[in-house]
Structure 1
């Protein structure tokens, strides 16, 4: 039962990542690209957590936590850049 759920989960997350990459490349506005990148981080975290369940390893949880922190900081920096035009002012 768990293996079927993991296959469905992998399929859904990879499909969501493909749609995010499409929006990242094609997005008409920079704000759309930032949101697509932010959602891509979240999908990468979900994929890593699914791999952690698949391989029964706790090491992947730490990697997911690091990606979450870097994704949050990156999204804030990009939003600030789009709002003001610079990061340090």
Structure 2
């Protein structure tokens, strides 16, 4: 059963990543582009976790954890820059 579900999930997440990329390029405002980038990296995390399940490797999960931490910090920094014009106070 899992052998049939994972390829379907990979295809759906790939489609979501393509749509996020379109929003990132065509976003009408910088805030929309930051949100699209945030959603894009979350979809990339889901893709990495699915590949980890498919390959039965714990290395993918550790990589996903590191990317999640860096993505969160990047999103906070981008939002702070957008709202204040400066990252450091």
- Normalising by structure 1, we get a TM-score of 0.98
In 2, distance between residues paired with 1:10 and 1:67?
19
- Point out where structure 1 has 5 or more consecutive residues left out of the alignment: none
Match of 2:16 in 1: 16
Write out aligned runs for 1:1-89 (5 A).
1-89=1-89
- Matches of 1:86 and 1:33 in 2, distance apart? 18
| Inter-partner Cα distance in structure 1 for 2:59 and 2:2 | 20
Matched positions, count: 89
TM-score by length of 2: 0.98
Large movers: runs of 4+ above 3 Å: none
For structure 2, the 5+ residue unaligned runs are none
